[in-house]
A = this chain, B = another copy of it.
Amino acid sequence: MPSIKEVARAAGVSVTTVSFVLNNKGNISDETRQRVLNVIADLDYTPSAHARNLRDNQARVVGYAWDKTRDRFNPVLDNFLYEMLRLCEQSGRNLLLFSNDAEIGLDPYRTLIDSRRVDGFILSHTRQNDPRFEYLYNANIPFAAFGRSNSPIDELVAWVDVDGSAGTAAATHHLIQQGHEKIGFIGWPIGSVSGDRRYFGYMQTAERAGLPQPDKYVMRATNDSASGYHAAQHLLTLPTPPTAIVCVSDVIALGVLRYRIESSCQVAVTGFDDTPIAEFSYPALTSVRQPIAAVAELLVEMLFLQLDERDILTPHHLLKPELVVRASSLK
Size of the A side of the interface (Cβ < 8 Å), in residues, is 49
Cα A276 to Cα B250 in complex, Å, equals: 12
Q: Which of B1, B57, B69, B111 contacts A46 (CB 8 A)?
A: B111
A85–B99 touching, CB < 8 Å? yes
- Which chain B residues border A68 with CB–CB below 8 Å? 78-79, 81-82
A50–B46 touching, CB < 8 Å? no
* A135 interfacial by beta-carbon distance below 8 Å: no
- Which chain B residues border A258 with CB–CB below 8 Å? 282
B66–A57 touching, CB < 8 Å? no
Closest CB-CB distance, A230 to chain B, in whole Å? Answer: 14
A276–B46 touching, CB < 8 Å? no
Q: Which of B49, B78, B111, B280 contacts A251 (CB 8 A)?
A: B280
A85–B73 touching, CB < 8 Å? no
- Which chain B residues border A57 with CB–CB below 8 Å? 50
Cα A251 to Cα B75 in complex, Å, equals: 15
A49–B276 touching, CB < 8 Å? no
* A116 interfacial by beta-carbon distance below 8 Å: yes
Give A122-134 as 1s and 0s: 1 = Cβ < 8 Å from B's Cβ atoms: 0000000000000
B97–A81 touching, CB < 8 Å? yes
12 pairs of residues in contact across A and B, judged by CB atoms under 8 Å: A1-B114, A46-B111, A48-B116, A68-B78, A72-B79, A73-B75, A86-B99, A94-B98, A225-B280, A277-B277, A281-B281, A282-B282
